Structure 1
């Protein structure tokens, strides 16, 4: 089912494109109908092979992707999708297990929803994600300080975080973070030394409408640490505050 561009209540063309991928055709149609009510252009496919082909054609802003697809499963689809697309990816899984979560998010998914789920909740999560910048490393308005000049990159020892360009460097080498990983690091580094609870990070990165397991934050923080070469037992950059959450370290060993 292909949707067409629709207008918002004030007549503005919203222009968001969504790709729904699920071999359960009735469920895919329900999700598509809810997105179309929110003025998304929607395309539905039922296999991983078709999903990758269509994603190249329509360049979606968001992909709702079932984990348990036959043939090429959702994990492999997401892995391949990340080689050419920066679309937000929401994984649909029939099992709310830690392994499913880690595997799905490790290949670049931004969020996950466990079946059965509320289509309204799914759309709310997608709306929250779309309020965030879409492309890591793309041009963005510069950070402007009180004196009107651009704010320099945030430095934590050998780690440089350039919020304006959404780029991260460690020892002058670029670190390829996903959009969500960068947003978590940007939030933590915006207030160095301040402890962020998981709920505060969720509100800052995913948006207040998001509801779900706070474990999502731990998984993404784990990916950030791995890419930064941060030892979880003795981290330099992202520190755990037991029973509370996380804070930014100074980068010193």
Structure 2
């Protein structure tokens, strides 16, 4: 791997521990102690993944995660001293790919970093989520939108690119290829787990909410990705291969 991992934490001791452990496994590392430093490092380096503390000397790590996810598709692992499960859910809803609580075992951090990187690399190499039908074309049209599995692009009815994260794109691709089929949360998690994703319970709901905000004109009244109460979700739009 050529691109470094960015460690964002306001505690020098934690950054040193993570750097030592990751470099011992062959990763290169750059550091940031604040949101501003993180922005500077991201502007200076093509980063493979970043670890992010929710508390950065009084800064809001959740806001930083939201801003980062809106700008780029870099994998994010949250490493924080907070143990409240609500924080975990919020972090995942904002686009984090995984969550590790302090104190942590370095072996676990390395394992999770490798798993997240494998997922991203497999998604980019395959050009489509696992379990996608192999036959037929790689482009789909739905309600004026187009989805290209090979290019991993989604364009809105006006032809503009829609900026989706890897997880959002994979979820949309799964749904568009199965229009009218009700998929339970467990089924969706199992399909996405093909890329080593081990989401917390109910994190699918957060992923769906983020996707809706990007593709639904009124995300509070979704017309494309609809909730089937007590079961899961269904793609209610009209989708076809093109």
TM-score per shorter chain, which class?
A: 0.7 to 0.9
CA distance in 1, matches of 2:197, 2:214: 26
Q: Where does structure 1 lack aligned partners over 5 or more consecutive residues?
A: 1-13
Q: Where does structure 2 lack aligned partners over 5 or more consecutive residues?
A: none
- Aligned equivalent of 1:59, options 39, 42, 46: 46
Q: Does 1:130 align with 2:117?
A: yes
1:60-75 correspondence to structure 2 within 5 Å? 60-70=47-57, 72-75=59-62
Deviations 1:45-92 (A, max 9, x none): 322222222222222110001111025432343355457643211223
How far apart are residue 20 of structure 1 and its match? 1.0
1:15 corresponds to which residue? 2
Higher relative contact order, chain-length normalized (CA < 8 Å, sep 6+): 2
How far apart are residue 35 of structure 1 and its match? 2.4
RMSD across aligned positions (CA): 3.6
How far apart are residue 222 of structure 1 and its match? 0.5
1:186 corresponds to which residue? 173
Q: Secondary structure at the match of 1:131?
A: helix
Q: What TM-score does the superposition give when structure 1 sets the normalisation length?
A: 0.72
1:152-167 correspondence to structure 2 within 5 Å? 152-167=138-153
Instruction: Say if 1:35 and 1:189 are closer, same or farther in 2 by CA, change over 3 A.
Output: farther
CA distance in 2, matches of 1:34, 1:242: 45
- Aligned equivalent of 1:218, options 191, 205, 230: 205
8 Å CA contact retained: 1:21, 1:44: yes
How far apart are residue 234 of structure 1 and its match? 5.5
CA distance in 2, matches of 1:50, 1:233: 36
1:168 corresponds to which residue? 154
CA distance in 1, matches of 2:51, 2:8: 6
Deviations 1:114-169 (A, max 9, x none): 444444343333323223446x9x9986999657xxx1522233332222222223
Q: What TM-score does the superposition give when structure 2 sets the normalisation length?
A: 0.75
